[in-house]
Structure 1
């Protein structure tokens, strides 16, 4: 399965900048869906974040997903790779 990777930066209420990738199936990479998935992810965090919109989330590239990632995407429709300041 190929996935679309959306590079995402969201400012936290404490001023730290979160960096994470939202991964979705290549054929389901509509911006509005990706933003919904990002909002769902952010709602699981114990801290507040700033605005989340298309300006914080940009399509980056397409890549081949490994088995674990494919399984996660089949179960939830998307996957998140946390990079910086996500905890």
Structure 2
């Protein structure tokens, strides 16, 4: 499966920036990507963050490993936590 990778930076608090990637099936509308990002942030206790093109940007398309592909098929998205998550 080809997936689109969205590089995302969101303020966790005044001094900490969360960095994570949102992986979705290729051709997923960006509005859905933002919904998935907000759901992830909510699960981390970070709410009221508006994801926009300045915080969440398309990065590239790649072929997903089987584990990630299965997760996306089940949940519509996959998060790769990078920093401060």
TM-score by length of 1: 0.89
How many residues are paired up?
85
Larger CA deviation: 73-82 vs 10-19: 10-19
Cα RMSD (Å) of the superposition? 1.5
| Partner residue in 1 for 2:3 | 3
Mapped to 2, the partners of 1:7 and 1:84 lie a distance apart of: 12
Give yes or no for contact 1:2–1:65 (8 Å, CA) kept in 2: yes
Structure 1 unaligned spans of 5+: none
Distance 1:78 1:47, change over 3 A: closer
Which residue in 2 is equivalent to 1:85? 84
TM-score (norm 2): 0.91
C-alpha contact 1:8 1:57 (8 A) present in aligned 2: yes
**Conserved? CA contact 1:12–1:49, under 8 Å:** no
